[in-house]
Structure 1
Amino acid sequence: MKKLLLSSIAFVFLLTSCGSKQKGELTGVQGKKWYPEKPYGMELIPRGSFIMGKSEEDQGKLLNAPTKTVTVRSFYMDDTEITNSEYRQFVEWVKDSIVRTKLAILADELGIGPEEGGIGDYAFKDADTTRASVYDKYMLDNYSGMGETGYEGRALSKDEDLVWNTSDYPDEYYTEIMDSIYLSEEESYNGQRTIDVKTLKYKYSWMDIEAAARASVKGNQSRKDFIRTEEVEIYPDTTVWIRDFSYSYNEPMHNDYFWHDAYSEYPVVGISWQQAKAFCNWRTKFKNDDNKSRGRQFVNQFRLPTEAEWEYAARGGIEGGTYPWGGPYVISDTGCFMANFKPQRGDYAADAALYTVEAKSYEPNDFNMYNMAGNVSEWTNSSYDPSAYDYVSTMNPNGGDQSNTRKVIRGGSWKDVAYFLQVSTRDYEYADSARSYIGFRTVQDYMGEEDSTQ
């Protein structure tokens, strides 16, 4: 028996040795093939150093931007502000997911599956056990009922298109769910019922890596202590067009700016810092869901730029420039304004625009970034502290204090004077605030690009 056992071990060892492609060499673990690609709509900002802060006179006398030489790593950045059209894609995705989740839950409660049609066509994928994978069955058996709703982790069926035309609703259960996402008839007028935007909430989790890393030396906290869950109403606050300006007629902008196709390529506004962060999380998920379906490796996260990254990108490689185009003037040699702002002590229309302009307007800077000055101010990931430049690192600096709700905005907007368009000017707004003159753009860390020679 002992000889038989030894023979079996030797045979297994022989098979392992013969089948190895490493031939006893240290070749490293071979993971998935990495398909680096330039993110759609983004430009590569190459790593480099620059003098961050007010190298020119601090006309505002704020004393909050002393010069400091810093270095930032390479990253991709949206060449324009996020547009209404792009943000609407996020809103539509959330709306679609909420409706499908509601339909699937009701179908589960009623015990209706795909074979029965109607609302059953939208049942959870694992409801059809004949098509469910081993993994789906395992998760259903072992984790069903866990979580806040008891339905977390169950896959939605997207095989069937949603029906929005009331005359085509498949059954009364479907009608019940669709009715729940619209405003009541008492809140509707002119015979039109609209989506209750307060139902459009995006829920996601993230890990506070910085807090976890700093706490790891104590060794008395687990990973779950640093997982944060956020639930954010993601529809833009269109009332900002009214509330931001007292005694001013801006109802057309309130009524049409976000949803009408005429404004599709204009920058989205009325977005809080928290909503911008939620968008970044969704954009990462949206891309990685597609990569997963293609068997590709996940991309790293989309995020808001740090204050230093934003200023570096805005300067476009021009050392000591006052504006993204260099400066120090806001009018070109042909007599045209070079950005959308409030020139000449309040003549909003002097630059050919009263409010915002399309995101790809005016000439880009040398990094091919549009409207890094004017149009809309932009959220950054950094928290505002007047003395931040005194203590932040010289390598990839970021004043990212989670407890500080004042977040840095940069670039100035359509309603600002030229001082706020300067690449070194700092300003802030509270994270839960939304304004008619604040938008955002996203960045992604650089991890290589495709070899064009192959």
Structure 2
Amino acid sequence: MKKLSLVTIVVLFLYGCSSSTRGDLTGVRGKKWYPEKPHGMVLIPGGAFIMGKAEDDVADVYNAPTKTVTVRSFYMDDTEITNSEYRQFVEWVKDSVVRTKLAILADELGMSPDGEGGIGDYAFQDADTTDQSVYDRYMYDNYFSISDGYEGRRLNKRIDLEWDTEKYPDIYYAEVMDSLYIPLEEAYNGRRTIDVKQLEYRYDWMDIEAAARAKKGRRKDFLRQEVIEVYPDTTVWIKDFSYSYNEPMHNDYFWHDAYSDYPVVGVSWKQAKAFCAWRTKFKNDEQKRRSKQFVNQFRLPTEAEWEYAARGGIESGTYPWGGPYLMNDRACFMANYKPLRGDYAVDEALYTVEAKSYEPNDYDLYNMAGNVSEWTNSSYNPNSYEYVSTMNPNNYDDENKRKVIRGGSWKDVAYFLQVSTRDYEYQDSARSYIGFRAVQDYMGTEATATKN
């Protein structure tokens, strides 16, 4: 069933090529391509810069010797990822988890969409063969129906979920929804909340570096699957500070609308990676719907990309605005950090500030110093500057769980705000002072900072 006939192959051979080329080598003609700036991002033109400490290392760390490197052009989020943006990810995952639970139960009950408003309306789309395409029928017969799993089967997203308990369509729907919440004995003050442990995002990726270095192996040997709990760890506001009252931040910071435009925190490196994978899928699902070419992946920046972007094109600058001063000519602080021996409030912010605060650097990037430190895709090694490449340098070691964070945060002293200061955190850790922003590779090579 999965084999093409010899006749089909011959027909494709004879008629697969157009005669409009007149036999000339004209290349495969596709649609003319124009770069499209991703929403919320700015273009960082590629170029060379001196990476590392341009002046004395006052902390005596000596982990950032100067080195001239070149990076390619890329797009970067103009702000840190906000609570609102990350909540979109969490809500999408929650929606998918509920629909999957409903579809599985409907499948077990042998129910299919019948338009009567029951759980059957949420059955897998392939359960209804009325309007099924030849391709969908083929995939179902050859892959999904011969497996005990449900991977690859399409969820029905054409019908809205019902969250009002008074409007649940049937008892089966109520059973699924009940399983999504914490047990009654764990609820208090009449509030029964979602069990966030169930909000998992599953995605696959290919370890291209391992595949390139392997002497042999099939493609499937380098496919990796991740299953990540996506909800931020809101307890970081308590765990990060002993003998301190921060419960309001724990209770409200992530979900309340008052903090929608503030940077998300409590997100581990792995969760930040999962967000980037979802963002790519979310965009490409829309591209597919519109019959447009897929975009390349969103990802965390490398350490070199982050420093290059933070400098904003200013050679040997101490801070994103150049420096070496931390206040402008009106005596206003230029970033959110811990100044004056620990007076957190003197910069007009006790914790974080809105992601689009203070003045952006010359690449129109906000808060590349202070507010929250930011995850990068690079693994931390104090000696990595000695051996990384001078072109698009990156030290990525899957065995090294220490990942570079950059930019300093609201609770850090000025030293960590410097564009060349390196720090790290373990990839499975979440902190109240670490967030992230994403990048996307620029397609082509025209945009460079040194172009005449």
Give the TM-score taking structure 2 as reference length.
Answer: 0.94
More displaced, 31-40 or 155-164?
31-40
CA pair 146-428 structure 1, distance change in 2 beyond 3 A: farther
- The runs of 5 or more residues in structure 1 that have no matched partner are 1-11
Q: Is the 2:72–2:445 Cα contact (8 Å) retained in structure 1?
A: no
How much does 1:33 deviate? Answer: 5.0
Once residues 32 and 196 of structure 1 are traced to their aligned partners in structure 2, the CA distance between those partners, rounded to angstroms, is 47
Letter in 2 for 1:175: A
More displaced, 185-194 or 360-369?
185-194
Once residues 93 and 44 of structure 1 are traced to their aligned partners in structure 2, the CA distance between those partners, rounded to angstroms, is 28
Alignment of 1:149-164 (within 5 A): 150-164=149-163
Alignment of 1:199-348 (within 5 A): 199-215=198-214, 218-219=215-216, 221-348=217-344
Q: Is the 1:145–1:151 Cα contact (8 Å) retained in structure 2?
A: no
How much does 1:175 deviate? Answer: 0.5
Partner of 1:23 in structure 2? 22
CA pair 185-410 structure 1, distance change in 2 beyond 3 A: same
Note the alpha carbon deviations across 1:41-71, whole angstroms, 9 max, x for none. 0000001100000111101100100000000
Partner of 1:167 in structure 2? 166
Letter in 2 for 1:248: S
Partner of 1:6 in structure 2? none
How much does 1:32 deviate? Answer: 4.9
More displaced, 180-189 or 355-364?
180-189
Once residues 18 and 374 of structure 1 are traced to their aligned partners in structure 2, the CA distance between those partners, rounded to angstroms, is 58
Partner of 2:67 in structure 1? 68
Once residues 245 and 112 of structure 1 are traced to their aligned partners in structure 2, the CA distance between those partners, rounded to angstroms, is 52
CA pair 42-177 structure 1, distance change in 2 beyond 3 A: same
1:375 counterpart (351, 360, 371): 371
Report the RMSD for the aligned CA atoms in angstroms.
1.7
Q: Secondary structure at the match of 1:211?
A: helix
How much does 1:23 deviate? Answer: 1.3
Partner of 1:426 in structure 2? 422
Q: Is the 2:73–2:445 Cα contact (8 Å) retained in structure 1?
A: no
Alignment of 1:15-164 (within 5 A): 20-115=19-114, 116-145=116-145, 150-164=149-163
Letter in 2 for 1:169: Y
Note the alpha carbon deviations across 1:343-389, whole angstroms, 9 max, x for none. 00100001000000000000000000000000000000000000000
Q: Is the 1:37–1:449 Cα contact (8 Å) retained in structure 2?
A: no
Note the alpha carbon deviations across 1:4-41, whole angstroms, 9 max, x for none. xxxxxxxx99x969961111111111235535310000
Number of residue pairs aligned between Structure 1 and Structure 2:
434
Give the TM-score taking structure 1 as reference length.
Answer: 0.93
2:384 counterpart (382, 388, 392): 388
Alignment identity in percent?
Answer: 77
CA pair 46-231 structure 1, distance change in 2 beyond 3 A: same
Partner of 1:5 in structure 2? none
Once residues 318 and 45 of structure 1 are traced to their aligned partners in structure 2, the CA distance between those partners, rounded to angstroms, is 13
Partner of 2:6 in structure 1? none
Q: Secondary structure at the match of 2:136?
A: helix
- The runs of 5 or more residues in structure 2 that have no matched partner are 1-10, 447-452
Alignment of 1:387-426 (within 5 A): 387-426=383-422
CA pair 18-298 structure 1, distance change in 2 beyond 3 A: closer
Partner of 2:441 in structure 1? 445
Once residues 260 and 95 of structure 2 are traced to their aligned partners in structure 1, the CA distance between those partners, rounded to angstroms, is 20
Letter in 2 for 1:63: Y
CA pair 17-125 structure 1, distance change in 2 beyond 3 A: closer
How much does 1:277 deviate? Answer: 0.2
More displaced, 228-237 or 25-34?
25-34
